[in-house]
Copies of this chain bind each other. A is one copy, B any other.
Amino acid sequence: MADTLIRRMSTADVGFDLALTTLLDWESASNPTVAETVAKVLAKVRAEGDAALLEFTRQFDGWEPESAAALEIPRSRIQAALDNIDVDVREALETAAERIRAYHQHQCQESWSYREADGTLLGQQITALERVGLYVPGGKATYPSSVLMNAIPAKVAGVDELIMVSPTPKGFVNEMVLAAAAIAGVDRVLTIGGAQAVAALAHGTESIPKVDKIVGPGNIYVATAKRQVFGSVGLDMIAGPSEILVICDGKTDPDWIAMDLFSQAEHDEDAQSILLSPDAAFLDKVEASIARLLPESERAEIIRQSLSARGALILVDDMDEAISLSNRIAPEHLELSVDNAEQLLPNIRHAGAIFLGRYTPEALGDYCAGPNHVLPTSGTARFSSPLGVYDFQKRSSLIGCSAAGASELAKVASILARGESLTAHARSAEYRLLGGENE
């Protein structure tokens, strides 16, 4: 495939099924050397706290914090970043934040309960997480949009304290990221990164409180550290490479579709862009657009590698087949570049986010439409959801039996508990029988 700009496939090809499976295949490599390094970093931060953080920051980030206090960016400095960025950038961030906030407010869950005829109360109480850590990668690949997308749902959920960590390699601070943190309502910003930051959030140090959940993207050290603290602290998903599946009826401008594919491919060489269309001539046109637009793209080399390694233009029989393939792929981003896209919704079973119609490129969703851009990758949309307010709230079951209700339930519980040979369960229930064993 080395010379091919992007592979062409057809569902009518012999061996198409296997070829598609191979194309989609992605297994995150777990690296034993990285795992060992990370385990050592975690253990040291757990044992030595702030002192270890200072040492690792010197070693990995190449600057000299004077003390643990120097690892925190003061609130005034964060506000200054917001005050000093270009006004059009500030306005764009604020517009995006407002739209993200408005959308996510629809996700808030309410406590509920109901009372049965005998007075027994049943329900579920919703509460917010108390403290959340947000990892934001440092250096060049620092995305203010990612700060908004992770922080705003947490604050909408009612999280008391949101602590952002982001390394500042050689002291470099991204002003737009700080401004986004200010807009999103982040409570504290710490200039630590890597596995040591995950360790500090998961276990706490003298200056950093233990959090209940850690969210946000990171490199292999961060992802490995998250895996290693799994269980003692809540985690968001560990994301694979980003992907888009575009379904087009052949009536959208091929340049638009080519650029939509590029917008995914430019993320990194492992990103995946796939187009399905029943119109072979349209696929030719999109391929021509790709060939023409690629050389003038700023990130041409990354796009070229991504399209060549993992991209595909696939000819399908018809729209039904396209939808059925899409459900098999369970894409992170699904773009329905067709007329009356909403009519297709009942047939879409698995997708992280669905972009409806020719005027809804994924890029609008990435930044400012409102829904979250943190989405399940690599087919995990089959069982998981976009990041949302629900990830920062949790539920407690409520059971309050009246004396009469308890007596009725105790009869059932007693039989089942004895059937499981758990007699203390049975006796605990039986004490609540009216006129029963309760002395």
Which residues in B have their C-beta under 8 angstroms from that of A370?
122, 399
Report if A72 contacts B (CB, 8 A). no
Which of A49-57, A310-318, A426-434 sits within the interface?
A: A426-434
> In A259-312, which residues have CB < 8 Å from any B CB?
259-260, 262-263, 265-267, 297-299, 303
Do A382 and B412 have beta carbons less than 8 Å apart?
Answer: no
A263 to B303, CA, bound (A): 61
> How far is the CB of A38 from the nearest CB of chain B, in Å?
15
Residue-by-residue, is A394-427 near B (CB-CB < 8 Å gives 1, otherwise 0)? Answer: 1111111111011001111101110111111111
> In A88-133, which residues have CB < 8 Å from any B CB?
88-89, 92-93, 95-96, 103, 106-107, 112, 114, 120-125, 127, 129-130
A381-B396, A394-B383 known; A28-B413 Cβ under 8 A:
no
12 further interface pairs, Cβ-Cβ under 8 Å (given A361-B429, A367-B417): A28-B231, A106-B124, A129-B383, A265-B424, A267-B422, A345-B398, A356-B399, A360-B399, A364-B409, A367-B416, A367-B429, A368-B409
Which residues in B have their C-beta under 8 angstroms from that of A371?
122, 124, 397-399
Do A372 and B397 have beta carbons less than 8 Å apart?
Answer: yes
Report if A359 contacts B (CB, 8 A). yes
Report if A204 contacts B (CB, 8 A). no
Report if A365 contacts B (CB, 8 A). yes
Report if A13 contacts B (CB, 8 A). no
Do B412 and A96 have beta carbons less than 8 Å apart?
Answer: yes
A234 to B330, CA, bound (A): 14
> How far is the CB of A56 from the nearest CB of chain B, in Å?
23
A341 to B400, CA, bound (A): 8
Report if A195 contacts B (CB, 8 A). no
Q: What are 16 inter-chain pairs, A to B, with CB distance below 8 A?
A: A122-B369, A125-B354, A144-B420, A255-B431, A262-B427, A298-B421, A341-B400, A355-B399, A361-B428, A363-B428, A364-B399, A364-B401, A366-B425, A367-B413, A375-B397, A384-B394
Do A359 and B412 have beta carbons less than 8 Å apart?
Answer: no
> In A230-278, which residues have CB < 8 Å from any B CB?
230-234, 238, 253, 255-256, 259-260, 262-263, 265-267
> How far is the CB of A434 from the nearest CB of chain B, in Å?
10
> How far is the CB of A140 from the nearest CB of chain B, in Å?
8
A145-B416, A356-B398, A382-B212 known; A369-B256 Cβ under 8 A:
no
Say which residue of B365, B384, B428 sits within 8 Å of A262 (CB atoms).
B428
Which residues in B have their C-beta under 8 angstroms from that of A194?
none
A213 to B129, CA, bound (A): 25
> How far is the CB of A109 from the nearest CB of chain B, in Å?
9
Report, nearest first, the 5 A-B pairs whose CB atoms are least far apart: A356-B400, A234-B383, A371-B397, A359-B406, A262-B424
Which residues in B have their C-beta under 8 angstroms from that of A144?
416, 419-420
Which residues in B have their C-beta under 8 angstroms from that of A432?
256, 359, 361, 364
Report if A71 contacts B (CB, 8 A). no
Copies in the complex: 2
Say which residue of B355, B397, B416 sits within 8 Å of A354 (CB atoms).
B397
Do B364 and A429 have beta carbons less than 8 Å apart?
Answer: yes
Do B431 and A259 have beta carbons less than 8 Å apart?
Answer: yes
A interface residues with partner B (beta carbon < 8 Å): 27-28, 88-89, 92-93, 95-96, 103, 106-107, 112, 114, 120-125, 127, 129-130, 140, 143-145, 176, 212-213, 230-234, 238, 253, 255-256, 259-260, 262-263, 265-267, 297-299, 303, 341-342, 345, 348-357, 359-372, 375-376, 380-386, 388, 390, 394-403, 405-406, 409-413, 415-417, 419-429, 431-432, 438-439
> How far is the CB of A87 from the nearest CB of chain B, in Å?
11
Which residues in B have their C-beta under 8 angstroms from that of A394?
350, 376, 381-385
Which residues in B have their C-beta under 8 angstroms from that of A384?
234, 394
> How far is the CB of A265 from the nearest CB of chain B, in Å?
7
A354-B397, A399-B354 known; A93-B416 Cβ under 8 A:
yes
> How far is the CB of A199 from the nearest CB of chain B, in Å?
15
